[in-house]
Each structure stands twice: as structure tokens, then as C-alpha cells.
Amino acid sequence: MDKRRGAALGLALTAVLAVSACESDSEGGGGGGGDDDSLTIALLLPESQATRYESFDRPLFEAAVEDECPSDQTCEVLYSNANQDAEQQQSQAEAAINNGADVLVLDPVDGDAAANIAATAKEKDIPVVAYDRSISDSDVAYYVSFDNVTVGETQAQALVDRLTEQGVTSGNIVMINGGPTDPNAKEFNEGAHNVLDDSGFTLQPEGEDFFTPDWEPENAQSFMDGQIADLGPTGFVGVYAANDGTAGGAISAMQTAGIDPLPPVTGQDAELAGIQRVVSGEQYMTVYKPIAPEAEKAAEVAVALAQGEDVEGDTTVNNGEMDVQTTLFDPVAVTAENVADTVVADGFWTVEDICTADYAAACAAIGLQ
């Protein structure tokens, strides 16, 4: 399949406008499964807190399904977003099954609870593709994601390298992990510990890691407020934040406390606000996970499974129940030095998106014009 790395989003959105398949509302709908001339694929995404799902994953996946659809058939996507509610996602999955879904592409709110969805689908002989997040202890047909342990290692290593460049080799690093029910958050945390535990720095809080409820920036901000109160405004040298939302919350807390200059802060997802903070120097780095190849691979696998074909991954990952056929993509660290060569070059964000009036001077300073 053609990997539209350059202008992936623009092409995807154009294709979506032309898609002949109907889409469901947030609770699922439509139908068409069981028709030999129609393939019905349910896309079940976990939340809209991160901008990537509605702005990138959904349109890219829908466009890729249209591209992969056999010429003698029609392909319908039943779309649902659970808004960070595991019970709602269960209901949406059941609605998709009842409306004739041939395949479920499931990005779970809760990787453990989603095993119930996989079991229900299995009873109906409907294959499940675990998308972006793994589904624990379940029989699923495929898993497509990024190497999440590598994501955490990439973040942590970038933080350590930046501190070393600044001549800092010891001190406290505040660690703000992702959502406690997100299986990826645990893998990011594992990767970060792989680097930070032997780095010479001390992780705060000591003893038990903090996981941000629902990945909410406000929860990360409240936690960071507490760390500033406990450690003092100069009592830490860096912040490991698991994604751009939690990074934004931590940065807001530090700015409110009058901390200047800000210590290095990590992030993930290359959200526009995160990239703008990287450009302005408020946030040191983010992790860019090119969504186009991930969404396109999931669509390719889903269409093949819907036709009853066997699929084989590049590797396998054990989810506690079985070794799942898997494709994992590599993450990319983004700093101010390579914004142009990564997210801009791939068409993920344009210079015009990033360099609004508030960031024009910062863009000019790093040659992003």
C-alpha cells in the first residue's frame, strides 16, 4: 500500500469526503454485515481528549478502508468514540456487532475491561484488531501500534541527554505517567524506568509512581502543584510527562508558581499545542508517532480479515492469553531542532498551523518560516 507520508492528512480528508460508506453516530449504527457485496468494519476509539483521534486516526483509517476496499464490494465504517468511558465502549461494541460488523478495530479505554468486548466478538466469530493499545488476556486477531516501551525510553533518554547538555547530572525528576487504565501508559512507564532508574537522577514521588487519572491535563497540573509545594520551586531539575496533555498541565503549574526558566519537560503525540510549546522553548521535546502508517495498516488488516483472509504480522506480542500477530512502528523524538524535518515534512502540521502570531518570533528564531 502507498504510505502517504507527505500529505497524509490532506489526502485522507479528501478521500473521506468521497467515501460512500455511511458512518454511525456515537453509539454505532448503520449495518450491512452479512451482505456478500458489503464489508462492515467498526472503528472504536477511546476518547477525544487527545486531538489525534478525531483529527487524524479516524479520517486516515476511513480513507485507507476506502482505498483497500475490493472493487467489487462496498465497505462501510461504523465509527464510535467512547469519551474515556469503558462501559460506553462496551455498549458501542455491542451495537456494532448487532449492526453487522464483520471486524472490530478496537482502541480500548481500558485494556483489561476490553477483554469482555473481545470475548463477545469471539462468540460471534468476529475478529478483533487491537489498535494502538493492547487488549489484555484475550483472543484477538491482530495488534497494530507503536513500540510503547521504546516510546518511554525515547522520552527519558531525551530528558537525560538534555540535562547532561546543561551540565546537570543529578537531582529530582518529577514523573507524571499516563492514565492508570491505559495499557500503553504502563509500557511508557516501563521504558522510562529502563533509562531513568540508573541515570543518577531521583524520581519523584519516591516509592509509588503517579498515574494521571483519565490522562486529564488538569489532573497532571494538580499533581505538579503538589510536587512544587513539596519539593520547592527549585527542588527538581526536569519533568518526565507521558504526553503533551500532561506536559501542558505540568507547565501551567510551573508557570503559575513563577518558575523561570522552566526545566526540560517531555511529551508525546506531537499535538499542535505541544509542538508550539517545543518551538517556544516551554517544552523540551515530544514524541511523534506517525499515525498514517498505523491507521493504514489497521485498515489493511481489517479489510483482509473481513474477507476471511489470514493475516501475519512482522512479530508477535503476548497479551497474557496468546501470542498476537503484530506490527509495531517506531516513534520519533521531536525537539525544536527537527520540527521541520519531522511533523512539517510529513504534513502532520504545516508551518502555518504552528507559526501563528503568538509563535511567529519563536518560529523565526529556529528558522521555521
- Sequence ranges of the domains in the chain: 8-140+290-331, 148-288+336-365
Q: What is the second-level CATH architecture of the domain 8-140+290-331?
A: 3-Layer(aba) Sandwich (3.40)
Nearest 5°: phi and psi at 171?
A: 125, 180
**To 10 degrees, the CA torsion angle through 295, 88, 83, 339?**
-20
pTM of the model: 0.81
* Residue 123 CB burial class (10 angstroms; 0-12, 13-18, ≥19): exposed
Q: Cell 481489517 belongs to which residue?
A: 302
- State how far Cα 18 lies from the chain centre: 26
Mean pLDDT, residues 148-177: 98
Crossing angle between the packed helical segments 8-18 and 291-306, to the nearest 10 degrees: 40
pLDDT the model gives residue 36: 67
| Per-residue pLDDT reduced to its tens digit, 299-347 | 999 999 999 999 999 999 999 999 999 999 999 999 999 999 999 999 9
Q: Where are the extended beta strands (E) located within the chain?
A: 38-45, 74-81, 103-106, 128-131, 142-146, 171-176, 201-204, 238-241, 286-288, 315-318, 323-329, 332-334
212-to-51, 89, 231, 311, 369 alpha-carbon distances in Å: 18, 20, 19, 36, 36
Of 72, 8, 53, the C-alpha closest to 345 is 8
State the average pLDDT for the chain: 91
- 246 is written with which cell numbers? 500532561
Share of the chain above pLDDT 90, in %: 87
- Yes or no: domain 148-288+336-365 corresponds to CATH 3.60.10.10: no
* Residue 356 CB burial class (10 angstroms; 0-12, 13-18, ≥19): exposed
pLDDT the model gives residue 22: 38
pLDDT the model gives residue 203: 98
In 10 A of CB 322, how many CB atoms?
13
Q: Kindly tell me if the per-residue pLDDT of 245 is higher than 60.
A: yes
- State how far Cα 346 lies from the chain centre: 17
**Rg of the chain's alpha carbons, rounded to an integer?**
21
- Name 317's Cβ contacts closer than 8 Å, sequence gap at least 6: 134, 143, 323, 324, 326, 328
| Per-residue pLDDT reduced to its tens digit, 23-74 | 444 343 333 344 568 999 999 999 987 888 999 999 999 999 999 999 999 9
Beta strands 315-318 and 323-329: pairing type?
Answer: antiparallel
